[in-house]
Structure 1
């Protein structure tokens, strides 16, 4: 027996269908319901179903604007029991919103009690608050009892409810709407009633009116909270197509506390911004020291109106701080129009013209239906009045007939038979009170008949003339404006004010110590913490590769072996104690697992003619302008040099000199003119600048002067000192000459190099050597040696590991900041400085040999 057969025993009807079909069909019905009957407003009256039901229920309960308030719980119960069978909380929340003057441009409910606040406070429970209709909602409900709109049965078929309200003004544009449904959302801002009515009347006069003409009347949104709306193009796009973007800015002013101290006063905030959250967020900016010049922020709002006071420190730039607050807080927000409404039972994204058309067409139907209702009623009354007037002339005979009749029905029949009255007239006669037979009432009947004739004539004219119908709509719109119209609250500005904040202007300028280690830990400490700390916080076997006192407004360029650089303003580094470990670079900017820091350069000013030299392991080099390294977005590493797959960035130098010195691992030194190396952008890969034999690679590339010395750190912990002037100038892309003698066993390989000027030697500056397991701090005088062609041994590589960086600290009075390349070339009798030399290769016994500057012979690896 199948499952279906077993189920048939207990279930009368089983529908066989796939899950996909069931879910699809049910969800389609659900979506249609929430789109049409829950979340989106009708274009005709601008109301969602729950709002319409609340207003109609209150009108049926007689809760007009001039009647006593009634408990909100009673209203919510009436709405839920008769028209809206959902939660009472959703009904009450809708009531509360309709009553909030900071959400609704024209509130539709007059609520007595706590109905929430602009600070985000929720309303009191419905058992505590009371409510009644406002004048505006009465205008929306006006003439609903004159068969002006269609009614449908409610959920249990016991009551009737309207599908739309008559709406004496275009509520959708005046109060706006927000809502989210399945696949659709709407966001329509409120507008000024006077402007909307003016545009509606203009549309009535000319249905071919252009959107440009409409925008001369509807200037833009008019929020209940005021503020400044920027973006005329966004308003035009929204009014035309239904979507557009504007910016809402708080209304502010700057008060002078004293001659050197100001206060920012906020009197209006953007629409739907929570005031308490706004004040809190600005105070957090002060507490987090993201802006130092705010002394205090206070909410001074009272019954007189909204007021937020922001006291500034003495000497602070009030306008700059205000711009920063616009940029960083909800004092300025973007508002994106999404004007979706139910039009002809369908959700449509529409501009203002289709909304006006839908409203005008609706009003035509309302006025026509009302006129037909009133015409029928007037004709009926006129018929009765004519019968009463006719009765006056035979009143004595009628009285006799009535007295002789058996009952009311018999009296009606006798009167109709004797004088030819209709049944309606006869009914009116027999129910007439005797005092109405006085002379005064007879004159009143005649006057009423004349008035009814004029009224009937007017109604027939309205029903037969399109122009007359339009005049009625205009007249009633003008009456509503006179009753409810208010001046505009929001100001309109044509252009969106683009605010660009230089965060450096927010930073207090001070001197700090910056330390960066080879493992990638970065720390910023005060100079006091640096001086007070006897030791620096480091991981085991880690060492500093950069240590310098800088200004908080300086910027670090941190270069990595993968050809990238990290742009890191000093003020972005969190302050710590010098003995702390620091922040790992990956927590600041994400880098690759195999990415390592090779060089750190501190920059105070990018707007210079400085250049940076970049060199790779395989001998590719380029120069780049320092100003190209300045960026505004720096959340990830930025490309400094394009590398081949197996290449790495090995050395970076700054402060251009006349010559470039390139050192290779196997001890070759190539000196060539700086002008021979072209300038490239950051995305370029550079050019071949040093010819390398198999197994050789570049160890360092330096800017040098002719008068400089240079030092080479070897793989065995030796430092070799040499003279730049003794190196001939070759063309680029040569091997150069040998400066480290080759050994067949345990050779010395160059691992790093540094320039050593005469001033650095004179001042005996510090020298840092970084090794695999630590670092060594020396002075220039410690590098002196004699009688050893492999230099001076400074550390045991078995203890500290192999060295890989040697750094000579700057001299105080060095010419390091000068750019001598822009000067005219000096004439010197030294032929080495004026003639490009080629490498000298001689042949002895059919073997190629290389001539080095020490006149020592060494076999060429080739």
Structure 2
């Protein structure tokens, strides 16, 4: 040990605690967290102040970035040059700052994460908004402290007129805490701040009416509002941001076009991640992705496969890629040098308190300067008030040996202060004219009135409040703009239902097993007897066999002829126009190659226990077997399907219906007979059961069941039957006046009664439906031609009659399917004719 030194034993645990606390506070206060008043960290403040001191303003030429960085490093910020340059660069990047403070010239990076050019290549200057953050800094409005080597002074805060922390936000990681504050719209923030000035008891809910949500520089859609409200009220919250996207057809391919991405998302990295997910098969329905961003703006193109559902693909993009991101709000800033979590009202309050302080100190400074000036003017007026006094003053100055003697002579002669005497000595001869004397008197009166006004401002807080309001409105007029981020208040967790509208759709299944859904509005109402418009394109020797109507959000239970049940949502069925072929149903459900879908049921929520336990599925087979099972048995289907009914050899499932247990059932056979019996005659059994006999056939071995209907209101509903050659009719179930049964109720298992007179002209019965005047009828034949007509056009006939022609059948064509559709009042009834066809009405 060197002589004179001594060792002092210390507790290493206490030393480490003390050192770490000192270090952490240094990081918190001097590096990572912004000041609540100007929203700036020390490095940001030093960059702007350094540019101010250099005179690099918005109306001056650009100056090399290296020159600015050197100024800040040498005078105020003794750290690495990269920290200063990176800070300046960020303040010039439009995708990072909602309102930029630096005007950069050269390569300042890109939203793809590209680095900016070296500081020796780029140039910069302040923007006008930055000047408004530094305005009045020379009027003793803020405190200054010594720089790192005690040779210069730097401001501890800027006297900003801009609510910078709210409009630009910030992020930073300190020791033991972090901050992450989103940007907001300046116009909204100014409106909210003025509302606070007018009513300081305003609630956060009332402030939210003005400041609606964060407003990100990259736009996007704020999806859901709960996180926003939570952040405004507590200072912590999770704001979900989605890209802005729309659908567009490019080179005959359906595409998703993204024009805005979430805040702080690296576009190039996002596109690469998406491409990787496509290659790995984790994102289905996309064939390619391109980044076509250019001068026209951002444009990312996702090319979809032919059978892809655009809404579902977009939802998967939101789920698996940064096209949907979350901004975790954590409003922590320094309040009087101490970190504090702040809600929306706190942020506005502290900014306003800072403005009050700045306005008060500025007014004091201006009052001091005004009093100093009026003091000098009073001296001028004493000396040059008349020609005699002026001559005496000139004589004293001329006959004095030096300036000090002249000053003393003036003080003694005119009773002046030292400052007044010095100002008179410094006065130019040109100001000793009579005209200049008038100007001095005029200036004196103006400053006298100005002093009274300044003293009034200092005496009355209302005056200062009005000044703050006026300056805020001036800022809004200069820099205010429209909101970029759209707010989708109804958003929340990712859900298909949030994206896909619950509109009515037509589901068609062809004989070869191709399925699609089409908006019901694509089919137009036609008069009875029309030839019809093309309803669906089909492959060679294929024809449309099933046509159903449902809504996008419903659950679908598919029943196959072998008795299996599969589960899908309607929106999972590929969407297509009337003239598209659809997609093979084997690609959607794991159906066996030799099986076919014969029936489906649209249900509501299969997780609603009360609903599934109060509804039943009734099934009928071609051989006249009927089975009833509780819907709860079908509420948990597996991917490979479940057994719905045990089908005997040479039989197949024909129809399935959803009932409440109180319906009546009617079965019809192709020979033209039908049977009606109460649903309660069929006992509910499990999924594995095979059912009981519903109808018996005559000795005709070729006879079979063609359809089943369930009846809820027999006096209101009518039965529609259609034959294969296009004939059909409506018949009452019960007479609406007398209530007498047209189709008598019997026990199940009987042969039934005649429902239509079958002849060679009509052909066999192919369909039976329950209809009312409020329904529309859709008929489609095997060649793919469809017609839509109003059921109200069909008059009610007797049970055993032949009916009328509903649709013209050409050649060997015949009816393939019949469905009823709810009437759409907006669709006009019109007659459309194929160019090569003619209409014949009976």
TM-score by length of 1: 0.58
Runs of 4 or more consecutive aligned structure 1 residues displaced over 6 Å after TM superposition = 607-610, 653-658
Which residue of the other structure, out of 41, 50, 73, is the alignment partner of 1:57? 50
**2:75 aligned with 1:82:** yes
CA apart distance, 1:822? 5.7
Paired residues for 1:473-622 under 5 Å: 473-500=468-495
Q: Does 2:458 correspond to 1:466?
A: no
Q: Counterpart of 2:548?
A: none
1:437 to 428, 432, 449: 432
1:272 aligns with 2:264: yes
Report the alpha carbon displacement of residue 389 of structure 1 after superposing the two structures with TM: 2.2
Report whether the alignment pairs 1:282 with 2:151.
no
Q: Do the aligned partners of 1:261 and 1:316 also contact (CA within 8 Å) in 2? A: no
1:325 match: 317
Separation of aligned partners in 2, 1:309 and 1:125? 32
Deviations 1:128-184 (A, max 9, x none): 111111111111111111110111111111111111110112110010011111111
Deviation at 1:21, TM superposition (A): 1.2
Structure 2 residue 413 is matched with structure 1 residue 418: yes
1:224-245, Cα deviation, whole Å (9 max, x unpaired): 1111112222211111110112
2:32 is matched with: 39
Is residue 2:153 matched to residue 1:160? Answer: yes
| 1:703 aligned partner | none
2:369 maps to which of 377, 399, 403: 377
State the Cα distance separating 1:256 from its structure 2 match.
2.4
From 91, 100, 103, the counterpart of 1:107: 100
Shift of 1:257: 3.3
Does the C-alpha gap of structure 1 residues 231 and 10 become closer, same or farther in structure 2, counting only changes over 3 Å? Answer: farther
CA-CA distance at 1:655 after TM superposition: 9.5
Q: Helix, strand or coil: the match of 1:267?
A: strand
Question: Is 2:167–2:183's contact at 8 Å kept on the other side of the alignment?
Answer: yes
Q: Distance in 1 between matches of 2:82 and 2:338?
A: 28
CA drift at 1:261: 3.3
1:366 aligned to 2:358?
yes
Matched, 1:313 2:305: yes
Alignment of 1:675-686 (within 5 A): none
SS in 2 for 1:229: strand
Structure 2 SS opposite 1:123: coil
Q: Show the counterpart of 2:170.
A: 177
Instruction: Please say if 1:299 is aligned against 2:294.
Output: no
Distance 1:11 1:98, change over 3 A: farther
Q: Which residue of 2 aligns with 1:404?
A: 399
C-alpha contact (below 8 Å) 2:283/2:317 kept by paired residues: no
Shift of 1:306: 1.1
1:132 has 2:125 as partner: yes
In terms of mean alpha carbon deviation, does 134-143 or 227-236 score higher?
227-236
Q: Which has the higher contact order (CA 8 A, sep 6+)?
A: 2
Instruction: Report the counterpart of residue 331 of structure 2 in structure 1.
Output: 339
Q: Pairwise mapping of residues 604-683 of structure 1 onto structure 2 (< 5 A)?
A: none
CA contact (8 A) 2:221 2:486 kept: yes
Distance 1:145 1:323 in 2: 55
Q: Residues 643 and 688 of structure 2 are in contact (CA less than 8 Å); yes or no, is this contact kept in structure 1?
A: no
What's the offset of the Cα at 1:356? 1.0
2:820 is aligned with 1:820: no
Is residue 205 of structure 1 aligned with residue 198 of structure 2?
yes
**Hey, what's the Cα distance between the residues in 1 that align with 2:301 and 2:690?**
56
Query: Given the alignment, which residue of 208, 227, 231 partners 1:234?
Result: 227
After superposition, what is the alpha-carbon deviation per residue over 1:625-674, rounded to whole angstroms, capped at 9, x for unaligned? Answer: 78658599xxxxxxxxxxxxxxxxxxxx999999xxxxxxxxxxxxxxxx
Distance in 1 between residues matched to 2:353 and 2:121, nearest whole Å: 41
Report whether the alignment pairs 1:355 with 2:347.
yes
Please provide the CA RMSD for this pair: 3.1
Q: Which residue number in structure 2 is paired with residue 191 of structure 1? A: 184
CA distance in 2 between counterparts of 1:571 and 1:181 reads: 53
Structure 2: segments with no counterpart, 5+ residues = 501-511, 514-563, 569-585, 589-615, 620-631, 648-685, 694-842
Give the alignment's TM-score, normalised by structure 2: 0.60
**Quick one: structure 1 residues 251 and 818, their matched pair in 2 at CA, closer, same or farther if it must change by over 3 Å?**
closer
Question: Within 2, Cα distance between the matches of 1:228 and 1:250?
Answer: 6
- Measured against aligned partners, the alpha-carbon deviations of 1:329-363 in whole angstroms (never above 9, x if no partner) come to 11111122111111122111110111111111111
What's the secondary structure of 2:21's corresponding residue? helix
Q: Secondary structure at the match of 1:477?
A: helix
Post-superposition Cα deviations, 1:733-753, rounded to whole Å, max 9, x if no partner, equal: xxxxxxxxxxxxxxxxxxxxx
* Counterparts of 2:639 and 2:57, CA distance in 1: 64
Contact 1:180–1:186 under 8 Å retained in 2: yes
Secondary structure of residue in 1 paired with 2:288: strand
Q: Counterpart in 1 of 2:750?
A: none
What's the offset of the Cα at 1:311?
A: 2.1
Residues 609 and 626 in structure 1, CA contact (< 8 A), matched pair in contact too = no
CA distance in 1, matches of 2:127, 2:9: 54
1:17 to 10, 19, 30: 10
* Shift, 1:609, TM fit: 12
Q: Secondary structure at the match of 2:154?
A: strand
- In structure 2, what is the Cα distance between the partners aligned to 1:342 and 1:73? 30
Aligned: 1:447 with 2:442: yes
Take 1:609 and 1:15, find their aligned partners in 2: how far apart are those partners?
93
Asked if the contact 1:169–1:197 (Cα under 8 Å) also holds between the matched residues in 2, the reply is no
How far, CA to CA, are the matches of 1:78 and 1:14 in structure 2?
43
> C-alpha distance in 1, partners of 2:459/2:687?
94
Post-superposition Cα deviations, 1:538-557, rounded to whole Å, max 9, x if no partner, equal xxxxxxxxxxxxx9x999xx
2-side partners of 1:51 and 1:434: how far apart?
48
Question: What is the CA–CA distance in structure 2 between the aligned matches of 1:91 and 1:461, rounded to whole Å?
Answer: 43
Structure 2: distance between partners of 1:207 and 1:500:
41
Distance in 2 of aligned mates of 1:822 and 1:18: 87
- 2:136 is matched with which residue? 143
Q: Secondary structure at the match of 1:99?
A: coil
- Alpha-carbon distance in 2 for matches of 1:358, 1:12: 51
Q: 1:447 Cα deviation (Å)?
A: 2.0
- Shift of the 554–198 alpha-carbon distance from structure 1 to 2, 3 Å rule, reads closer
Out of 382, 396, 401, the position equivalent to 1:390 is 382
1:631 and 1:314 mapped to 2: Cα distance?
Answer: 24
Q: 1:469 to 1:294 in 2, by over 3 A?
A: same
Q: Which of residues 217, 222, 242 in structure 1 aligns to 2:215?
A: 222
Q: 1:721 aligns to what?
A: none
1:252-263 alignment runs, 5 A limit: 252-257=245-250, 261-263=253-255
CA shift in 2, pair 1:298/1:209, >3 Å: same
Secondary structure, counterpart of 1:820 in structure 2: coil
Deviations 1:783-822 (A, max 9, x none): xxxxxxxxxxxxxxxxxxxxxxxxxxxxxxxxxx983366
Q: 1:38 to 1:630 in 2, by over 3 A?
A: farther
Which 10-residue stretch deviates more, 152-161 or 286-295? 286-295
Shift in Å, 1:410: 0.7
* 8 Å Cα contact 1:608-1:627 kept in structure 2: no
Asked if structure 1 preserves the Cα contact closer than 8 Å seen for 2:246 and 2:256, the reply is: yes
**Aligned pair in 2 of structure 1 residues 656, 322: CA closer, same or farther (>3 Å)?**
closer
Indicate whether 1:92 and 2:85 are aligned.
yes
